[in-house]
Homo-oligomer: A and B are copies of this chain.
Amino acid sequence: MKKRKAVWGGRFKSGPTESLRAIGDSLRIDRRLAPFDIRASIAHARMLGKRRIIPKRDADAIVRELTRMFDDVLFGRRVITREDADAHEDVHSWIEHTLTERIGAAGKKVHTARSRNDQVATAFRLWIDDSLGDGLFKRLVPLVHALLRQAATSIDVVVPAYTHLQRGQPVSLAHHLLAYAEMFDRDARRLAACAVRNGRSPLGSGAATGVPHRIDRAATAKELGFAGPSANSMDAVSDRDFAAEFLFALSLTAVHLSRLAEDVCLWSSSEWNLLELGDSVSTGSSIMPQKRNPDGAELTRGKTGRVIGHLVGLLTTLKGLPMTYNRDLQEDKEAVFDAYDTVVMCLRVMTDTIGESRFRPEAAERLLKKGHLLATELADFLVAEKGVAFRDAHEIVGKLVRRLDDEKLDLSDVDETWLAKFDARFKGCAKWLDFRRAVDRRDHVGGTATRQVKKQLAAWKKRLK
């Protein structure tokens, strides 16, 4: 391993053991922070210059060179290599060293009035904020669009709504799909709230107590897009609430994806046969030549565990840590990066899966035939037109179903005449024995009536425009 110089080496007689370097080095992981740390360093250096904490000339040189580095990193002209990772312990020392190599002595002044503790907290917050817009929202929206597109063509497709995986009542397939749009919408708002609630800049908190210079924290906070500086330096350097919140928001998104994935697995089973997976979103078997597996959905469902695991990992790491910064906190980044990458990938996979598959209306009709799907309808008919108390109506229909089962019949096999013979109060129920009418009768906010589903769709289109 190459000899190198740590930014803290002064008092040490020998360098770290190989194992300590291996566990401590983080450039392979935190290089993703490079553009954000550079941006924060630019703001910091500009402020140092304005406040004459370092000479204006030095500040200008730093800002100029860092701006160049920012572009180099962003446009891939400068890539952090394996050699860099061997030679520097983290992205912060890599940036400082690179800067000093290029502009000489002035570079050694960039770390004035800050510490790695406030520096890393700042860069990491910037990364999370950035990951929302270009990463998560950009992936959430197409998934909702894919759901909306399928919904738009399936308003008239009536399927069973399931509770307990048992057929319950008829519902518009579009209504089912829009339920997922609600979940992902809550996810988007939850993620956005992370950014808002954590919008305080730690920069200037130093190692833990602030710095003995006349810094202008409001200025750096503003330049970096924060709502303002944090209120307490000790809290600022040891707070990882923002990372835990982000991991939780990702976990809940993953849970929602896992539920959609489960529905996809069921729908594409031979038993349901409701969803025909596109060739491009299913895979085969190494041994069974006929297989068409919903691997994308399965992997998405499986990866939920991983995202939840990262959340648990960070909470466990934080538990019981005394004030202020402890090196344990270094564990925050890999967990967040991997959870983010995982969720982004799953969003893409489920977007493709929903987008490139086809629902089979003919299968929908078959699914309605068993399950006494209009039983609730009959009970509500008794309530609405015969004045029977609901609890009594429920009991009457319950007995009817028992009789049908004994005779191996489904409610969809019999008509008003048959029913009236079973119980005279069923006279007049004919128009309640219709799937579409049952759907359209649920004509209130949130109900599955065609009119309501169209309203939901219109509202979604408006919001996503």
Contact = CB atoms under 8 A, between A and B. Distances in A.
A326 B165 contact: yes
A397 interface: yes
A6 to B, nearest CB: 7
A316 B309 contact: yes
A391 interface: yes
A324 interface: yes
B319 A331 contact: no
Interface stretch (A80-88, A127-135, A348-356): A348-356
24 contacts: A8-B283, A8-B291, A14-B278, A19-B296, A20-B295, A20-B296, A22-B349, A23-B300, A111-B390, A161-B208, A161-B234, A168-B288, A179-B235, A182-B230, A209-B448, A229-B446, A259-B318, A263-B322, A263-B323, A284-B398, A287-B379, A301-B328, A309-B335, A320-B320
Given A207-B163, A284-B6, A314-B305, A384 B20 contact: no
A424 interface: no
A154 interface: no
B179 A323 contact: yes
Contacts of A248: 245, 248
Sorted nearest first, the 6 A-B pairs with minimum C-beta distance are A10-B398, A210-B447, A302-B328, A309-B313, A8-B284, A210-B442
A169 B306 contact: no
Contacts of A449: 210
B323 A259 contact: yes
Interface string A14-29: 1111011011100000
Contacts of A229: 445-446
Interface string A293-316: 111101111111111111111111
A183 to B, nearest CB: 6
A293 B164 contact: yes
Given A111-B391, A302-B317, A304-B319, A375 B335 contact: no
A73 interface: no
Contacts of A405: 11
Given A190-B241, A309-B313, 8 more contacts: A8-B286, A11-B398, A17-B356, A204-B446, A207-B288, A251-B315, A284-B398, A305-B312
Contact of A161 (B113, B209, B330): B209
Contacts of A163: 117, 207-208, 237, 285, 288, 291, 293, 324-326
B308 A315 contact: yes
A76 interface: no
A177 to B, nearest CB: 9
A104 B23 CA distance: 45
B281 A16 contact: yes
A401 interface: yes
Interface residues of A, number: 210
Given A212-B380, A258-B319, A305-B313, A445 B290 contact: no
B161 A24 contact: no
Contact of A283 (B24, B391, B392, B442): B24
- Chief secondary structure at chain A's binding surface: helix
Contacts of A175: 209, 232-234
Given A11-B284, A19-B349, A207-B168, A315 B305 contact: yes
A41 interface: no
Given A281-B16, A328-B301, A401-B290, A323 B211 contact: no
Contacts of A96: 391
Nearest to A248: B248
Interface string A332-358: 001100000000011011011000100
A373 B106 CA distance: 27
Nearest to A375: B290
B217 A446 contact: yes
Contacts of A281: 16-17, 20
Contacts of A418: none
B326 A164 contact: yes
A205 interface: yes
A79 interface: no
Contacts of A258: 319-320
A333 B329 CA distance: 26
